[in-house]
Amino acid sequence: MPGALGGKVALVTGAGSGLGRAIAVEYAVEGAAVLCSDRDAVGVQDVVAAIRGSGGTATAHVGDVTSESDCAAAVALALAELGGLDVVVANAGIPGEGKAHEISLDDWSKVIGVNLTGVFLTVRAALPHLVGQGAGSIVLTASIAGLVGLPNIPAYAAAKGGVVALGRQLAREYAPDGIRTNVIAPGTILTPLVEDAFRQRHGDGIEEALSRRATAVPLGRLGSPEDVARAAVYLGSDASGWVTGTVLTVDGGNVHLGPVQG
């Protein structure tokens, strides 16, 4: 059982693409058996095939994080087919564009439902098992949009700010049960979700817009899904055994250093 996660079983939501796919693959490389969950049946089967093709252990689950029964089924499948559950990565999310006075209530509710309620339902489904075994690591994917004001994404920012607050609450409440909860807040990462958001915002000018965003990052580039995946490995592993309640920004320095000037 080599690697930082050898012998552990992990549930990763949103594993069919983007950050979730990168996290699932990196977890498998580091020795975890991974329950890959996504509502995209093709995407989640593809990542499972890729993991197995590289010698890793993975099982696919097709489900929606906004469904209580789907979340419960994902946990049950991990226990039944992979023999346990040690790490929960609540990562599934969707974009949400539009100024506050322009977005519809339906659009607001959809973004909050997936990005915040879906995180809660995923974690709630796993907690009875984690509490029962007296150990576990929960990793929540938020965003720097939940920490600083960014234009044109009020529902997304509200949801991700809620994920940050939920992570701190869970960390405090379940520390006596041996469960650690931490939050990753990525900056601009080149994923299908981010590209879709930039395409909605900038149309044919997407490449120029992404280039401008990259030059504003103190470290001089946009992030990759692997940047976030490596942070998720650390927070899911025993290497972070005395770390809980933290918000780890993976953003090239934007939040704490500010954008490059001049």
Q: DSSP secondary structure string, the chain?
A: --STTTT-EEEEETTTSHHHHHHHHHHHHTT-EEEEEES-HHHHHHHHHHHHHTT-EEEEEE--TT-HHHHHHHHHHHHHHHS---EEEE-------S-TTTS-HHHHHHHHIIIIIHHHHHHHHHHHHHHHHT-EEEEEE--GGGTS--TT-HHHHHHHHHHHHHHHHHHHHHGGGTEEEEEEEE-SB-SHHHHHHHHHHHGGGHHHHHHHHHHTSTTSS-B-HHHHHHHHHHHHSGGGTT--S-EEEESTTHHHH-----
- Whether residue 174 lies inside any domain: the answer is yes
- Whether residue 179 lies inside any domain: the answer is yes
Give residue 198's pLDDT.
85
Measured CA to CA, the distance from residue 1 to residue 5 in angstroms comes to: 8
Measured CA to CA, the distance from residue 155 to residue 244 in angstroms comes to: 27
- Residue 201 binned pLDDT confidence (cut-offs 50, 70, 90): confident
What is the pLDDT averaged over residues 98-124?
97
What is the pLDDT averaged over residues 227-248?
98
- Whether residue 211 lies inside any domain: the answer is no
- Whether residue 176 lies inside any domain: the answer is yes
What is the pLDDT averaged over residues 180-187?
98
Percent with pLDDT over 70 in the chain: 99
Give residue 196's pLDDT.
82
Is residue 125 predicted with pLDDT exceeding 70?
A: yes
What is the pLDDT averaged over residues 7-16?
98
What is the pLDDT averaged over residues 53-59?
98
- Whether residue 43 lies inside any domain: the answer is yes
- Whether residue 213 lies inside any domain: the answer is no
Mention every residue, 6+ apart, whose C-beta is less than 8 A from residue 162: 112, 116, 146
The CATH number assigned to the domain holding 73 equals 3.40.50.720
CB 153 within 8 A of CB 217: no
**Enzyme catalytic residues:** 156
**CB count, 10 Å around CB of 156?**
25
Give residue 127's pLDDT.
98
Give residue 262's pLDDT.
47
Give residue 197's pLDDT.
80
**CB count, 10 Å around CB of 244?**
20
Give residue 194's pLDDT.
83
- Whether residue 199 lies inside any domain: the answer is no
Question: Worst-scoring range by mean pLDDT, 131-140, 149-158, 237-246?
Answer: 149-158
Give residue 261's pLDDT.
64
Measured CA to CA, the distance from residue 119 to residue 192 in angstroms comes to: 20
Q: Going along 164-215, which residue ranges are E strands? A: 179-186
Residue carrying the six token digits 């958001």: 197
What is the pLDDT averaged over residues 192-211?
87
| Assessment of whether the complete model's pTM goes beyond 0.75 | yes
**Of 139, 108, 106, which is closest to residue 122 (Cα–Cα)?**
139
Give residue 222's pLDDT.
95
Q: Which domain holds residue 41?
A: 9-190+225-249
- Whether residue 220 lies inside any domain: the answer is no
Give residue 56's pLDDT.
98
What is the pLDDT averaged over residues 17-34?
98
Distance of CA 202 to the CA centre of its chain: 25
How many domains does the structure of the chain reveal? 1
The pLDDT mean for the chain works out to 96
